[in-house]
Chains A and B, each alone.
Chain A
């Protein structure tokens, strides 16, 4: 079946540096791609989404890039802060949202 996966289970980044979290997807028919952030012990929180006909979308301190040629999605977080420490899930949506396994972002002081 279709699936959404992530390249790295854990990413460690120095505070103040930029973080790049990657995701590979397999369903070419997905309409949207979405990033969620889940802090420890809490439910996921929507960060940003991107429509399949776009290749870049920017939010507050975050940028999502979509490369449909290689079916790759990334989330860039500028000037990473301690509060960014969480598990980040990519998800794809066609008739429903399918979540990937997540990447844990660890911030180094």
Chain B
């Protein structure tokens, strides 16, 4: 069966510090991978998606970047965090072999920037 892991679960970082959130998927090959941010009381904002190794599409200009060094690994990074980067970050995967509308979400990382 497929599983998706995210870590850390919670993170408190000072403004100006770097960020690295990691997401890994098991049990599937060539997944599409996604990073979302969810602000309190709001919907999901797509930040990045990737259809393959080294292929990253950015949805919104921001202080963040993403990388996909391996097929099932997706990393969200920042060189200098801003207060506005606080939120709940969710990684998700989908696969064309399954329902392409079904994205499987990880447990999320709650980031607080102080």
Contacts and interface: CB of A to CB of B under 8 A. Distances in A.
Interface residues of A, number: 19
B90 interface: yes
Contact of B101 (A41, A44, A97): A97
Interface of B: 36, 41-46, 49, 59, 90, 92, 99, 101-108
Contacts, number: 48
A43 B90 CA distance: 7
Contacts of A100: 43
A24 to B, nearest CB: 13
A98 B113 CA distance: 26
Given A32-B101, A49-B99, A49-B102, A44 B46 contact: no
10 smallest CB-CB distances across A and B, nearest first, come from: A43-B105, A99-B44, A101-B43, A46-B102, A49-B101, A99-B43, A32-B101, A44-B105, A43-B90, A34-B101
Contacts of A42: 105, 107-108
